[in-house]
């Protein structure tokens, strides 16, 4: 019961139940993609491309009941293995690489420069640091050691993706911030100068230092308090350099946008795909692991890195279930997964599948090198 209460508080912290409880069936509108050509802003609120996806209180009672009374299985790990990143040596490492920093926080090395996506370094994904979802593991690098950051990319304004403390901590070292429309207001209120914030609508692109960024559609919602629901846009991101192509999902339910993005920007060397914090009661705004694999296929991804897991307890599933389900489905669908330990490098020039570290997370800590040696297999594209 204690963990159910903690988790319920977590759910409230990351965006409010009003958004989580959209339960209107998602009628597929495949074929006609005009609804995806732009974001939809009506009466001060963004709405999803499929208007059937509603953000309302329709199922609040049933969700609350489940959070209070459902018996939880392994909501949090005893230990999560970690590879420390020496931020001082980042410059010397691979020129093109991806590192998971936890949950959906990603460090990207693109053509030798450092980028961050949805960086959350605080102890809790919450509007206060004395309550709310607490991280399972420390951040795998000393944030103060980070070199100049070429760009910070934000998918939407939920607490597990946009953290005020982290933005303030990084601010002086970041050249540019890239956010969906409306999210710029948060950054500016935290002291980020206007000239460094680029707020993009869906399908808008910017190019910075040889990296092209496009905000692309997602099916989700936004808000940081009880009264600001959906006032800012949510997005996924296409990130391209001369040599590489990446997709960062942000948060999204499964929808026909993935296919359209795949057609316009695919194939992708790597897709960083939301795989966690899902539930049958909010399946329209967070994908089930099987849908994450389908989305990766729709996007024409080559290697999929499951993210949005392993750091915070935000739903009702066991902490390791996203990894197990996505692995099973990937095997069935012949999809190549890369599942790095938090902090472990995934080189874009030589992608490795990594080990199934979650299967024995506790023992893994003592046997990191053995497990690596046994499980690493090259899947270079
Ligand atoms: Zn979200
Ligand atoms: Zn999220």
Say how many Å lie between the CA of residue 204 and the centre of ligand 2: 22
Closest ligand to C-alpha of residue 221 is 1
Q: What is the pLDDT of residue 174?
A: 98
Strands 245-248 and 268-274, by their bridges, are: parallel
Say how many Å lie between the CA of residue 380 and the centre of ligand 1: 32
Say how many Å lie between the CA of residue 112 and the centre of ligand 1: 30
341, 318 Cβ separation under 8 angstroms: no
Residues 6+ apart with CB under 8 A from 122: 129, 163, 165, 166
Say how many Å lie between the CA of residue 92 and the centre of ligand 1: 34
Strands 345-347 and 97-102, by their bridges, are: antiparallel
Say how many Å lie between the CA of residue 60 and the centre of ligand 2: 19
357, 371 Cβ separation under 8 angstroms: yes
Q: What is the pLDDT of residue 57?
A: 53
Question: What is the mean pLDDT for each group of 10 consecutive residues in the chain (381 residues)?
Answer: 51 47 39 88 93 69 86 89 90 92 97 97 90 93 92 97 97 98 98 98 96 97 92 98 97 97 98 96 94 98 97 94 96 97 94 83 49 38 33
Say how many Å lie between the CA of residue 165 and the centre of ligand 2: 17
371, 355 Cβ separation under 8 angstroms: yes
Closest ligand to C-alpha of residue 180 is 1
Q: Which CATH architecture has domain 2-24+83-375?
A: 4-Layer Sandwich (3.60)
Distances (CA, A) of 274 to 143, 155, 271, 290, 304: 24, 11, 9, 11, 10
Say how many Å lie between the CA of residue 233 and the centre of ligand 2: 14
φ/ψ bin of 286: left (φ > 0), alpha (ψ from -120 to 50), beta (otherwise)? beta
Q: What is the pLDDT of residue 18?
A: 41
């Amino acid at each position: 019961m204690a963990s159910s209460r903690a988790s319920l508080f977590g759910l409230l912290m990351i965006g409010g139940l009003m958004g989580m409880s959209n339960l209107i069936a998602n009628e597929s509108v495949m074929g006609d993609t005009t609804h995806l050509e732009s974001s939809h802003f009506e009466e001060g609120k963004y709405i999803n491309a499929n208007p059937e996806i509603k953000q309302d209180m329709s199922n609040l009672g049933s969700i609350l009941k489940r959070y209070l009374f459902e018996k939880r299985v392994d909501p949090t790990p005893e230990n999560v293995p970690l590879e420390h990143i020496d931020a001082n040596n980042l410059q010397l490492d691979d020129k093109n690489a991806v590192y998971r920093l936890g949950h959906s926080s990603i460090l990207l090395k693109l053509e030798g420069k450092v980028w961050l996506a949805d960086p959350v370094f605080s102890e809790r994904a919450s509007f206060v640091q004395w309550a709310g979802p607490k991280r399972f593991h420390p951040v795998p690098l000393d944030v103060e050691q980070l070199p100049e950051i070429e760009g910070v990319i934000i998918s939407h304004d939920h607490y597990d993706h946009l953290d005020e403390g982290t933005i303030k901590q990084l601010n002086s070292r970041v050249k540019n911030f890239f956010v969906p429309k409306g999210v710029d207001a948060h950054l500016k209120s935290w002291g980020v100068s206007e000239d460094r914030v680029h707020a993009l609508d869906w399908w808008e692109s910017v190019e910075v230092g040889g990296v092209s960024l496009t905000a692309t559609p997602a099916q989700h919602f936004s808000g940081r308090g009880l009264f600001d629901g959906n006032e800012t846009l949510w997005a996924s991101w296409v990130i391209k350099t001369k040599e590489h192509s990446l997709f960062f999902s942000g948060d999204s339910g499964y929808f026909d946008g993935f296919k359209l993005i795949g057609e316009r920007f695919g194939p992708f060397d790597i897709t960083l795909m939301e795989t966690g914090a899902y539930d049958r009661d909010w399946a329209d705004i967070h994908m089930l692991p099987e849908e994450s694999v389908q989305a990766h296929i729709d996007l024409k991804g080559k290697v999929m890195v499951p993210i949005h897991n392993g750091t915070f307890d935000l739903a009702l599933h066991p902490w390791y279930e996203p990894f197990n389900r996505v692995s099973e489905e990937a095997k069935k669908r012949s999809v190549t997964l890369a599942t790095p330990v938090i902090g472990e490098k995934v080189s874009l020039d030589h992608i490795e599948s990594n080990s199934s570290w979650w299967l024995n997370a506790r023992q893994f800590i003592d046997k990191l090198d053995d497990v690596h040696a046994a499980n690493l297999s090259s899947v270079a594209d």
